[in-house]
Every structure is written in C-alpha cells, then in structure tokens.
Structure 1
C-alpha cells in the first residue's frame, strides 16, 4: 500500500536527508516527493510504498524525530488539472472550493497560454476519500478537470477518479460535448450496474465501452475501408455489398440505373459511406434511389436522410416516431439493452431520421402463431420483394426481404453470417453482446425466427445477405 506523509522539516541543513533515511532504512520505496517553497517553506510531502506495518513504523519514527505534523493525518496526494477559461480570476472559484474542503495544496503549476483555455495543475493532499469524491463532483461543475495521478489503492477515491477520467478520456478521443460526456458517464454506470449483478468485473465494462469508442474513431476518414463484394445477377441486376469494420452492411441493388439500398451503417460514418457509394455509382445523388431498413437499430440507419424514399415496417417507423417525440425507442423499453443503445447513440453521433420520407409496410404487429408473418410487398425497378416481420426475437420491427426471381433473401440481424466476418468485424461485434448481455431481445425466439427463414425459400440456389458479414450462398433442398 501507499501512504503520504506530511512533514514539517526543521530549518536546518540535512533535514530532508534524515527524513528520507528514516523511510529508506525500513525498506520502504519513496514513490513521490512534493515541495513548493512558494506555498510553505517547511512543508514537504513524501509518498512511500510498502507493507502496512512497516509504514506504521515509519510514522512512529518520523514522529519521534519531530518531522511529522501530528495534527495532519497522512493521506494520498492526487494530482489534478483544471481547464479554466482565459479570463481574470477564473481560478478563484476552484481555490475557494479547495479552501471550503480544507485541502492542503502540495503542488501548483500554471503557465499562461495565449488564447483558449488555461491549464492549472495542483496536487491536493487527500485525507478523506469521501471528501475528495464530493470535491471532484463539485469541481466538475466549475470547469473541465482531469485526474493526472492518484493512489490506485484507495478504493473510494479510485471509483470517483476512474469515472471522471474515463469520461474525459472518451470525450477527448471522439470529441464529445460536455452534455454528451455527462450522458455517457450515466449510461456507462448503468451498464456496469447491470453487469455487476451478473458478477462481471466493473473495469471490464468500462474497458469494453472504451474499446467501442476507440474502434469507431479508428476507422474514420481515410481509414474507412469497407470490404466490397460485387455480384452480377440475372435480369440485368447487379448487387454490391459494403461491409464496414463497424456497423451494419450496406447492400445496393442496381437495375436500369436505379439504386435500392438495404441498410446503411452508423451515422458517424455517413460521409465515408456516401463517398464510397458515389465512387461506386457515379451520379449517385442524381439517380432514382430508395432505402430499405430491415430494422431500426442505430447501426443500420445512418444514411436514412440521404434517400428520397425509405421503406420499413410500421413497427420500425413507430420506433422513430417515439424518438422524434423525445420518448424511449422500442429497444430502450428493454432495461438490459437501454444503456448500450444510448451509448451507441452518443458515440455514433446519432440523430433520429426524418419521418417525411418513410414508407411503412404493413400495420401494427399483432399477435400471431408464426414467427415470421407476411406483412406486405413492394416493388422497385422491376424487382418485387415480399416482406416478412418477425415477432421481436432480435428487436421489434425486424423484417426479412425475399426476392423470388433473383433468389435473394435479406435477413437483417435475425441471421448474420458470423463465419463470414472479417477480423475487424469480429473484433467490433464481440462488444455489443457483452454490454447488452445478448444482442437479441429474446434469444430463443430469435433462434426460431432464423430457422423459419429457410422455410420461406423454394428449392434451389439462393444468396443470403445478413445485416453483418459476407454474403452466404445457400442450397435449399
């Protein structure tokens, strides 16, 4: 364990040397020394690490030599950075708060920077972990703060510091606003509490969320390279499948210059995805085009506002109606899934798509004996699609598309080709099942729906396109 001694050194040569010798003679490792003459010419903070009994012996010897402040109990030093606005007196509210909590300052470093926020570093002696936790929460309301160094063996302090550090780290990496950072912190805590009930380590939860954010950022811009596959089908139809490392597939059917897309990835990749489509299909924005959403998950509808017509089930449209009204969407009704869905929205820069272009198929889902019910059909560029809606095994509003002439079936996330994942897809798609406990709302029902898909298909060769992963050739007997 670690312990910080607040020493008052006598005003004579060799005082620091003698105090250091006392600590070192016991086999303790001095891990940090802090002294600032401008604050107190005699006060010195010495942090040592070792066994608890040995640290107590060091306390006794320092007291005996008159080096230890008897009215200042030992604690931990936490090094913090306050990001202050560039204005006279901006540090005063922070200093008043420090005074209010009666903290000793062991270190101050400030260097004026022209323009932008000012960075003010301070080391605070922590004698009460609950007090510093309260201080951090109140200081966060005054300005942006970062925890630079602290004693990780102090559990209560560690929890508070970890939350703040986690939120700051993610916010900096992906450029979150203060408001979104606060939302991320709340939802991350809710995920942790849910997983803690299943005896999952809290730190693995935050590590997984951090990995989620890191991967979304890693493939932005020039690093966005979806795996692209192209197929020539009969009747003059071509199929192009874009598989990004993160988020859903985007599949495009082209016939007579017209384009029908099925699903469209995360909102944070909107520009990258559009650029790919413009390169693959010259004059993309001027062509007649439409989008079909197999379901309303946030990783499927990133380009919904870039198509004049968006086909989807009535239940999926209800999902977006709820969001437009500021209500919980269909996924968020599930308490196990709600925190992850909200984290996904924050990190992927999701905004609900416009309702104006949506063309719902079928009506509200009614109880049925079948796992996949025929709810209607639609045609585009001479292609004819039968639409089947599931009972909500993966999520409410989920659909399957079947084009019998072309022998194509689009399954959304009811069936995904896990064996066809690229290494990058596999890495990313491991995260959601952990954070949601399962990507399916009802795993048993989802399994039954997957099995029923094949009963919709007549004998012969088919091409199955799932919501994620490579296309899968099928032979139906």
Structure 2
C-alpha cells in the first residue's frame, strides 16, 4: 500500500463527491486527506489516498472516464465582450451553440430588453483551449456586431469558479514553466497549509494571498528593483565588516581583510546575481578572494545562495541535514508540523534555494562528550580566525532552528546571534511586512518557542558579560542580528550602532583600497 494524491474537478451537483468516494472504495482505497471548500472553489477537491499501486491506477482511470480527474493546469483565457443579438426567438440559443462548440464556460451574462441597450448582451467566458478563441471570434464576427471589452491570459481576470487554476497561473510567474504534474503537487502542498490554517480560524483566501505575496515580494525586489541597506564598520585598521540587508530575508555579513574575504550567511538564492553586482559596487566583486562562508542555520534566507558561491561553507552537521530535508523543523520537537514542512517547500521554491555543496562540517558533539567547553549554555564546537580575529562557533539550543550556530569574537565583542536576536525597530516597513508573512504561515518562525525564549535570555546574559569586559576600552558588544541593523544594547534595548547607506541596482562600482580604512 502506498500513499497517492490527486486533484478532482467535479460538477457542482448533488452526489458528485459521493460518486468519487464510491470509486475509491470499490478499489479498496483509504482516504487519508480530503479538502473541499465551496467558498474557495466550488469544483475542486484535493485527495490523498492509500491504495495498492494497481488499484490506484484503476481509481484514476475510473475518475478520468467520468471527467472528474484533473490531469493538467493549462492556462485559461478570460474573454468579455458586447454582442448585439437580433430581437427574435432563438437568438440566444443560436449564440450558445457557438459558445458550446468552442468548449467555453460562461462566467457572466447580462441582458435586459428594457435597459438602455435592449439589443446588447454582455458575455464573459473562460476558455481552456486558446486555439478555439480565434475560431469562435471569427464565427461570431461574421454574424453579429461584436465589441471586445477584455481579453486576459494572465489569470488576473478569472473568477473564483476556477480559483485553483487562477492560482496555478499566478504561481507560474514565480516558478517558471513547471510541468503540470509538479505544479499540481505544489498545489496540494499549498492547499494543505490552507487546510491547517483554516482549522486555526484563518481565512483560506487570506492564506493563499499571503503565499502569493511571498513569491511576489521576492520576484519584485530582484534584478533591476534590488536594493540593500549597508552598514560599514571598521573593526581594526585593516579589517572592515560589511552588513548587507537585502529587501527580503536575512542579513549577509562580509569581512574584508588584506588577505581574504569571509562571509557569514548568504541571503536568498534568487538574489545571488544581485548580491554579486552589489559586491562589485563596493570593490568586493573578486569572488576568488572569498575564501570561506560560515552558515548560521538552514533557513533559505540565510544559506539559500551558498551553493552558488565558489567558497566552501562551514556549518553544523545538523544544519547540513536540514538543507537536505523537506522541513525546516527537522530535528526539533515540532518536526512533524505540516505548516513548517509546507512553508519550507514554498520558500525554497520561490527563493531558488541552492544550499551549500562544498561543505566543511564542524565537529559533532554529544551530551556524553566530556569536558565540553561552553559560553553559558552554548558549547564551543570550533574556533577559527578571520584576519587576526579569533572566533568561536557556539552551538545554540534549538529555539529558532535545530542545528543553529552563533559566532562570537570575544576579544573585539562581535556576536552573530542570527535570528535569535533581531532589532525589529530598525527594520523598514517593507521588511517588517515581509517577515510577518512567515510568522502568519507557520504561526511562529521559531521551531520551539520555549527554547527560543531561553536562548535569547542566555544571549542577553552573554552580551552583558562582554559589555562589562569591554567597558574599560570604551566599547560595547556589536550584535550582528539575523535581520536589521548591527546593534548594541542600551537600557535593555537593541539600538542601531551606526547609520546605513542605500545601495540600489545599477549603481556604478567604486574602488576600495587600504586607503579607505
């Protein structure tokens, strides 16, 4: 017995669902999941069924025979026009013959012989076969006076009688010319997240809109519309730290030293070329000088471009496993959560997730390992140098994500706590709006909220200790957040350490030499 999924497109009449269930039962299929919501789409039903492979093929054959099985998601055109009919018996009947022969579905009719235009009929059509449109129009033009009002193939003008087909057309604009089988599986996943959130009293239409907003934001802010807010901080005379805040997702950090460049986190894959262009603008575009990438955790906005850079990526073994799994909650107490699994598929697809391939793993530790050196509750699993700065790789306790790593330079007071600490007040309204989408679709961006609170408390204690040690030098711990500005703690709040400058796509490169330090 195996689990299969399919989409049924049924007529809106009593007994249609019963007929489909009878076919599944006849071949001893067990329905594991079914989702139908007339408010969304009155014709579409999502099924997950456990059955023997041969029986499943019989189920598909039977459903296809009666026209219930959806096998493709071909783009549908919307056509709206005025047509002037003769005022005689049978005039509408004759017109409908043409429309039926073109296999078009009527979505709108408006006619009143006592109105301002007693001879004019307004017609709206959905046409699945675009080859039939010209033939239909030519037939009608040869007999009737005709005025085209709207003609749309993008899905924008389709109504909710074909909601999922309309959704599929919008999704194609984010993921390209995907095969129908792939797109239908993706629709299954999206429907599943809507089903879960509906059970939590979320409006399903709002769920779909927020999913589309994720794809729209990423596509709309890449290429010519890419921008970033940039902080540049001199750490030592010959070491400068850049913080790049892309339009969506996590920060990218880059150390520029005389001998090499080192990156911490990479941003989304969809921004890769935009980031390369930005690095060129700042005189950092020679990727042969980028020697190492340190990954904090497996979310797409932090490591989703790592596989596109030539440098090796250093990461935790647990993080490596998550990049190969279908859920960002893998390894956590929440790993079976449908919302986490489906969101991971959505964001990885929309953001062109390209995880690291050239990998160097940090040493694994276990609770049985003796004499584990720690910073507070965080085990120190590795040490490395960037220029003459010595860093520690601290393993988190898994609040935001299993396998997360924090990077700390105790001497200079540099802490990279990734998404365990975010300066929300420094986020632009657009970034805040985008970040809220993930929180909405998963109900929380933390895989374990209790651990996340404990983690933040421990990090605040660590920051306080560092601030005390640096006080004599007139310095404070620089908190390089996963999102938002590099910050310091003041009166218990994160405050931006410096201002930032705005980079926009198309700016001409500048040169950076040691004289700039």
For the aligned pair, the TM-score class normalised by the smaller chain equals 0.5 to 0.7
1:401 equivalent in alignment to 2:401: no
List per-residue Cα deviations over 1:375-416 (Å, max 9, x = no partner): 232223222111211121111011111111221100111111
Unaligned runs of 5+ in 2: 1-84, 112-122, 140-152, 493-517
CA gap 1:373/1:328 in 2 versus in 1, 3 angstroms: closer
Quote the residue 2:248 is aligned against.
246
Quote the residue 2:128 is aligned against.
81
How far off its partner does 1:38 sit?
Answer: 4.8
Distance in 2 separating the partners of 1:229 and 1:145? 40
List per-residue Cα deviations over 1:330-354 (Å, max 9, x = no partner): 5865433110010011111223431
Greater relative contact order (CA < 8 Å, ≥ 6 in sequence): 2
Moved more, 236-245 or 448-457: 448-457
List per-residue Cα deviations over 1:423-453 (Å, max 9, x = no partner): 2211211100000110001112101101101
Match of 1:265 among 251, 264, 267: 267
How far off its partner does 1:110 sit?
Answer: 7.7
Distance in 2 separating the partners of 1:328 and 1:414? 15
CA gap 1:184/1:83 in 2 versus in 1, 3 angstroms: farther
List per-residue Cα deviations over 1:356-383 (Å, max 9, x = no partner): x322223155489975333232223222
Quote the residue 1:172 is aligned against.
173
CA gap 1:384/1:34 in 2 versus in 1, 3 angstroms: farther
1:449 equivalent in alignment to 2:464: no
Quote the residue 2:117 is aligned against.
none
List per-residue Cα deviations over 1:266-308 (Å, max 9, x = no partner): 1111111112123223452221521111101111113313142
Match of 1:349 among 322, 339, 352: 352
Q: Is the 8 A contact 1:168 1:181 kept in 2?
A: no
Quote the residue 2:234 is aligned against.
232
List per-residue Cα deviations over 1:130-151 (Å, max 9, x = no partner): xxxxxxxxxxxxxx9969545x
Match of 1:472 among 481, 487, 490: 487
Q: Is the 8 A contact 1:263 1:292 kept in 2?
A: yes
Distance in 1 separating the partners of 2:237 and 2:89? 92
CA gap 1:330/1:177 in 2 versus in 1, 3 angstroms: farther
1:379 equivalent in alignment to 2:381: no
CA gap 1:13/1:80 in 2 versus in 1, 3 angstroms: closer
Moved more, 363-372 or 255-264: 363-372
Quote the residue 1:292 is aligned against.
294
Distance in 1 separating the partners of 2:217 and 2:251? 16
Distance in 2 separating the partners of 1:110 and 1:406? 76
Q: Is the 8 A contact 1:34 1:46 kept in 2?
A: no
Q: Is the 8 A contact 2:305 2:355 kept in 1?
A: no
Q: Secondary structure at the match of 1:374?
A: strand
Distance in 1 separating the partners of 2:402 and 2:235? 32
Unaligned runs of 5+ in 1: 1-10, 20-32, 51-75, 85-90, 92-104, 112-143, 153-157
Distance in 2 separating the partners of 1:396 and 1:171? 32
1:319 equivalent in alignment to 2:322: yes
- Map of 1:93-172 to 2, 5 A cutoff? 108-109=136-137, 149-150=158-159, 152=160, 158=161, 161-172=162-173
Q: Is the 8 A contact 2:329 2:401 kept in 1?
A: no
List per-residue Cα deviations over 1:29-81 (Å, max 9, x = no partner): xxxx992565789xxx896689xxxxxxxxxxxxxxxxxxxxxxxxx986233
Distance in 1 separating the partners of 2:440 and 2:209? 11
- TM-score scaled by length of structure 1: 0.67
List per-residue Cα deviations over 1:215-246 (Å, max 9, x = no partner): 01111111111111111123532111100111
Distance in 2 separating the partners of 1:409 and 1:219? 29
The alignment of Structure 1 onto Structure 2 pairs a total of residues equal to 364
CA gap 1:322/1:211 in 2 versus in 1, 3 angstroms: closer
Quote the residue 2:364 is aligned against.
363
Distance in 2 separating the partners of 1:364 and 1:385? 18
Quote the residue 2:509 is aligned against.
none
Q: Is the 8 A contact 1:260 1:290 kept in 2?
A: yes
Match of 1:438 among 432, 437, 444: 444
